Amino acid sequence: MQVKNLLFSLGYFSVAWAQLADTSDYPIGPLTSSAAKWAAKICDITNYGAVADGETDAGPAILDAFNDCASGGVVNIPLGTFALATWVTLSGGNAWAINLEGIIVRTGTAGGNMIYIEHSTDFEIYSSRGEGAIQGYGYEFLSQGEYGPRLLRLYDVTNFAIHDIALVDSPAFHLTLDTCNQGEVYNMIIRGANEGGLDGIDLWGFDIWVHDVEVTNKDECVTVKSPANHILVEDIYCNWSGGCSMGSLGTDTDITKVVYNNIYTVNSNQMFMFKSNGGNGSVTDVTLQNFIGHENAYSLYIDAYWTEETLAAGDGVLYNSITFSNWTGTCADGAQRAPLYVWCPSTQPCTNIVIEDFAMWTESGSTEYYKCADAWGSGYCLHGGTEHTEYGTVTSTLTSAPSGYSAPTMPGQLTAGLGISTSIAIPTVPTTFFPGATPATARVYSG
């Protein structure tokens, strides 16, 4: 489906949607149907020496199966538990897929990427039964104060899809999309430990649609990094997570035409955070709409002095034409951490920021405050006008709940982080990711 047709089919005709769609007419997802790939060739890893005993290294078998199906077909990982002791790099390939019916469990101890797919086109990884998973047993590293490999990384992959699988307990990042184009990620659950550095989905590239995903961890939920344009992230459930973000941003930042829509965040660090410290370049034409939060430390947050990032050379990243619309719910403590916080570079003030229909209230206490600095636009503590120069901090304090802040909740909300010292169970991929929203794509297997 083309991006333009996709966005208009969602029934939201704002200027931001039109801006996202205006130049992107490339097909999203695989170009060849799953059925056609199955008909072309099947390379079952058990025919290449893999054994579903949870002990025998399936890495060489996966690589051999890929080499036979790289020009068209399906690398089939059948039901059962397959150990991965040596990591696999699958380079090249066209019109091929990985069908993950079974479970891959990490038994190796190297760093890097357990499964690394690069320079590939027309690719799909999914579970035809909707039960496939990659289990990283990250707790074995984290309990020792260490990190291990990422579970799944795509680099320079075009026209791809990742769906209907679970990524569980990664020793590092769960899913990274590095310089990828025309792809789709959907109907997934990511369950990581309650520790920083275990990102859910990190992505940069062009024409990517991430939707209907649940993430648990204590770092990035779904984050966009530079360079990126024409990115749509929607119907995301950040369930005890770090929350969604953009960054970290540094030198030569180039992000434009990004929409986050229908984002539900509970018991997390933030609902959305832009984070930079110095640097240059720009973030422009971004829309963040229909956000629901409950008991998060931070809510709406632009921090151009994010001290966890090393100061980069430059006058600061320019944040321009960013719209926040329809945010509701609660923060953890609005007097301790402002639910609305826009702190822009004094040497590069934010421009054309719009905040509308923002109604967040505090779970603790009876007051909260908003804070803006060097931020120009309309709404709340922002400065109006076209001067766009440095100015001092503006704060405002609320002593009663804003009208319309009450928001629905999601099923399955976690009330504690998951195991740093114990294994995380493989969950079932859920069927709902945002209150009242039906997933855009049906589960691949419903029987």
Q: Closest by alpha carbon to 164, among 204, 200, 214? A: 214
Query: Does 173 have pLDDT greater than 70?
Result: yes
Residue 22 lies in a domain: no
Whether 258 contacts 229, CB under 8 Å: yes
**Where does a domain end: 163, 190, 218?**
218
- Backbone phi, then psi, for 435, in 5-degree steps? -55, 125
Instruction: Name the domain boundary from 163, 185, 218.
Output: 218
Mean pLDDT (the chain, rounded)? 94
CA distance linking residue 111 with residue 190, whole number of Å: 20
Nearest C-alpha neighbor of 66 from the set 86, 35, 90: 90
pLDDT level of residue 143 (50, 70, 90 thresholds): very high
Would you put residue 25 in left (φ > 0), alpha (ψ -120 to 50) or beta? alpha
Dihedral (CA of 96, 198, 430, 359) sign: negative
Is 409 within a domain? yes
2 occurs within a structural domain: no
Beta carbons of 70 and 200 less than 8 angstroms apart = no
Tell me which of 189, 218, 247 is where a domain ends: 218
**The predicted structure's pLDDT at residue 445:** 81
Residue 386 pLDDT class (50, 70, 90 cuts): confident
Are 250 and 180 within one domain?
A: no
What is the number of structural domains in the chain?
2
CA 16 to chain centroid: 20
Same domain as 268, residue 176: no
CA 379 to chain centroid, in Å, comes to 28
DSSP letters spanning 380-428: TT-B-SS-------EEEEESSPPTT------TT--SSPPPSSSPPPPPP
Full residue range of the structural domain in which residue 302 is found = 228-416
- Residue 247 CA to chain centroid, in angstroms? 12
Residue 12 clears pLDDT 50, i.e. is over it: no
Residues 175 and 277 grouped into a single domain: no
Where are any strands of DSSP class E within 192-252? 201-216, 220-239, 243-249
The answer to whether residues 58 and 151 belong to one domain is yes
Is residue 1 assigned to a domain? no
Condensed to tens digits (0 to 9), the pLDDT of residues 33-46 reads: 999 999 999 999 99
Q: Could you read off the pLDDT of 207-241 as tens digits, one per residue?
A: 999 999 999 999 999 999 999 999 999 999 999 99
254-268 mean pLDDT:
98
Q: What share of the chain is helix, strand, coil (3-state, %, to 5)?
A: 10, 50, 40
**CA 417 to CA 267: how far, in whole Å?**
9
Quick one: tokens of 430? 């859920």
Structural domain includes residue 433: no
How big is the chain by its Cα radius of gyration, in Å?
Answer: 22
- Domain match, 58 and 116 both: yes
Q: In terms of pTM, does the model score above 0.85? A: yes
Which pair of tokens denotes residue 324? 């926040």
Residue type, 254: D
Looking at residue 446, what is its pLDDT? Answer: 63
Same domain, 170 and 245: no
Whether residue 42 is found in the same domain as residue 132:
yes
Indicate whether 319 and 366 sit together in one domain. Answer: yes
pLDDT digits (tens, 9 = 90+) for 301-334: 999 999 989 999 999 999 999 999 999 999 999 9
Check whether residue 259 and residue 124 sit in a common domain.
no
Q: What's the rounded mean pLDDT across residues 379-406?
A: 95
| DSSP SS3 for 305 | strand
- Asked if residue 432 belongs to a domain, the reply is no
**Contact of 107 with 84, CB cutoff 8 Å:** yes
165 and 247 co-located in one domain: no
Give domain status of residue 21, yes or no: no
Show which residues are catalytic. Answer: 219, 294
- Give the model's confidence band at 26: pLDDT under 50 very low, under 70 low, under 90 confident, else very high: confident
The predicted-structure confidence for 112-127, as pLDDT tens digits, reads as follows 999 999 999 999 999 9
3-class SS of residue 370: strand
Residue with tokens 């990283």: 136
CATH number, domain of 62, equals 2.160.20.10
CB atoms within 10 A of CB 240: 21
Res 5: pLDDT: 43
Same domain, 296 and 237: yes
Residues 78, 101 contacting (CB under 8 angstroms): yes
Task: Measure the CA–CA gap between 354 and 156, rounded to whole angstroms.
Answer: 34
197 within some domain: yes
Say yes or no: 197 and 244 in one domain: no
Q: Closest Cα to residue 211, out of 6, 425, 37?
A: 6
Q: What percent of the chain has pLDDT over 70?
A: 94
